[in-house]
Amino acid sequence: MLFTETLRTSRRDEMIDITRQIITLIRQEDIRDGLAVIYSPHTTAGITIQENADPDVKLDVLMRLDEVYPWEHPKYRHAEGNTASHLKAMTTGTSQTIIIRDGQPLLGQWQGIYFCEFDGPRTRQYHVKVIRG
């Protein structure tokens, strides 16, 4: 099954934990073993797996991405003025594939699945393809 989820971001840069939504979809489809592919169809947003125990990790990641890819740079040429958001999305990637085992995403003890916004606030979507097997 393919699912499309919609979310509203509230800041230019943020990481939104979507782990619970992914677990809900897996349970809803009664998948015991298989794969879940989570995909962002946006060029200025991404999907990543990262620590979800300490909220400061998200802040640190976003801070460093902003340092590496500052919002303004004298050599940026993109007319929309959001080159940094494209670079950040390229760095995080547009998708993650997660193994499903015993009806749960196979994540490490401290891992969570995040939708990463780099050009908000916006209404965004992400897709989840759940595959049995």
In the chain the domains, ranked by start, together with CATH numbers, are 2-132 (2.60.120.460)
pLDDT at position 88 is 97
Residue-level pLDDT at 27: 95
Q: Which distant-in-sequence residues (6+ apart) come within 8 Å of 52 by Cβ?
A: 17, 19, 110, 111, 112, 114
Percent of the chain with pLDDT over 70: 100
| pTM of the shown model | 0.94
pLDDT tens figures, 21-67: 999 999 999 999 999 999 999 999 999 999 999 999 999 999 999 99
Judged by phi (left if over 0) then psi (alpha if -120 to 50, else beta), residue 81 lies in left
Does the pLDDT of residue 79 top 90, yes or no?
A: no
What's the confidence (pLDDT) of residue 73?
Answer: 86
- Flag whether pLDDT at 101 surpasses 90: yes
Q: Which residue has the higher pLDDT, 75 or 111?
A: 111
pLDDT of residue 4: 98
